[in-house]
Amino acid sequence: MTPSKTIYLDYAATTPVDPRVAELMIECLRPDGAHGNPSSGHTFGTRARAMIEKARQQVAAAIGARPECIIWTSGATESDNLAILGVARFHADRGRHVVTARTEHKAVLDAFKQLEKEGFEVTWLKPGPDGIVRPEQVREALRPDTQLVSLMHVNNETGVIQDVAAIGAICRERGVAFHVDAAQSAGKLPINVEAMNIDLLSLTAHKAYGPKGIGVLYVRRRPPLGLRPLSYGGGQETGLRSGTLPTHQIVGMGLAFEIGEREREADVARISVLRERLLKGLLAIGGVELNGHPTERVAGVLNVCFHNIEGESLRFGLRELAVSSGSACASGSDEASYVLRALGRSDQLAQSSIRFSLGRFTTEDDVDRAIAIVSREVGRLRALVPNGT
């Protein structure tokens, strides 16, 4: 099966680069482009620096932040690690208790596991069967020595939305730093870090039609938060993230986020219609159940389980579709999704679940063909075991 004949429904893993973004990036890479080191004082460097600062303003505008709060990183994984480890280690003398949820991305979970090795105590919140962590759960978990709460805005496997504004208000009231992984919500939901009382926010370009390898950590500046860097070198990005800045990638992220915010409402409206069309078609197969909250979810992500189906056989049969059984970062594991198991799904149902994620370039024909392919394969597999599994 060649990629050109495969229907791409894995936008939650990564998005295609928008052609407008790619064209701007290519301009930077040409011999007469902005190839200077942004830290250099000559005209080549100042040209690159000006483009980087414009991109900083574009990303800041998309999340309601001031440009000086934007720190360039290699992506959301680095941003998550810098936020979690950086804050916890800087303020270790103030408290060694931190809070997160069992359904977070691996970049967050593994950072908290590292903190446990360093002597921190982690409270692992368990969401309800709908995938939502209630604000009251966070309030009840806070202690006098709590210094950090980290919860994602949108779950990467189920698409479920957390009420980060309500949780942010609780954290701000108690003087606890609040970190949000917003990799899956940028360009899909309105984000305003000031209104939502968010102290640290992780973003990545490749989930929002930008290039891979570039991301952002928003860091609250007033009052100063206190953050220990993970790496050391030339002192770029106010010393929080040293290294020569990749102008073409940064410029690409800036434009991707500007387009994403400008076209967000239109994109969401169109994709919502396609998602409902896909869900209706899948439910018509029978023995199909939605994972996660039915309405508190982003437009593009649809995670469903198939009863009386062996998951590996189903995924093998869906080779005409680029879909996922969970997070792309954990795709090498044979274990059932830890996110779905945390929602109470059995190992069997978690393994027989598929994440379909739609995006800017998904068409109605893609959806209809996907429904037909899934219906065919589910029917074929169930016919092999007529009495169920």
pLDDT in tens, 233-260: 999 999 999 999 999 999 999 999 999 9
Q: Is residue 193 part of a domain?
A: yes
* Per-residue pLDDT band at 333 (split at 50, 70, 90): low
% residues pLDDT > 70 (the chain): 96
Q: Is the pLDDT assigned to residue 388 strictly greater than 80? A: no
Domain limits for position 172: 19-262
In 3D space, the residue among 184, 173, 113 whose CA is nearest the CA of residue 138 turns out to be 173
Residues 215 and 89 in one domain: yes
Mean pLDDT of 187-210: 98
The encoded tokens of residue 294 equal 């039915």
Q: Is the pLDDT assigned to residue 220 strictly greater than 90? A: yes
Give the per-residue pLDDT at 239. 92
Residues 108 and 8 in one domain: no
Mean pLDDT of 95-114: 98
Residues annotated catalytic, as ranges: 329
The encoded tokens of residue 278 equal 């896909």
Q: Is the pLDDT assigned to residue 3 strictly greater than 70? A: no
Give the per-residue pLDDT at 325. 84
Output the furthest CA–CA distance in the chain (Å, rounded): 74
Residues 179 and 196 in one domain: yes
* Helices and strands of the chain, counted as H and E runs: 12, 12
Mean pLDDT of 113-128: 98
Q: Is residue 172 part of a domain?
A: yes
The least confident of 79-88, 270-279, 330-339 is 330-339
Residues 210 and 271 in one domain: no
Indicate which CATH number applies to the domain containing 353: 3.90.1150.10
d(CA 381, CA 318): 12
Residues 36 and 141 in one domain: yes
Q: Pairing mode, if any, of strands 97-101 and 146-150?
A: parallel
Residues 111 and 122 in one domain: yes
Name beta bridge partners: 305: 289, 353
Phi, psi angles (nearest 5°) of residue 152: -80, 150
* Per-residue pLDDT band at 352 (split at 50, 70, 90): very high
Give the per-residue pLDDT at 146. 98
Phi, psi angles (nearest 5°) of residue 67: -55, -35
Mean pLDDT of 339-363: 96
Q: Is residue 389 part of a domain?
A: no
Rounded mean pLDDT of the chain? 95
Residues 214 and 353 in one domain: no
Q: Is the pLDDT assigned to residue 329 strictly greater than 80? A: no
Q: CB of 174 within 8 A of CB of 286? A: no
Out of 262, 292, 323, a domain closes at 262
Residues 235 and 320 in one domain: no
Q: Is the pLDDT assigned to residue 4 strictly greater than 70? A: no
d(CA 285, CA 379): 8
Phi, psi angles (nearest 5°) of residue 370: -65, -45
Q: Is residue 332 part of a domain?
A: yes
Mean pLDDT of 331-358: 89
Count CB atoms within 10 A of the CB of residue 163.
17
d(CA 330, CA 342): 16
% residues pLDDT > 90 (the chain): 92
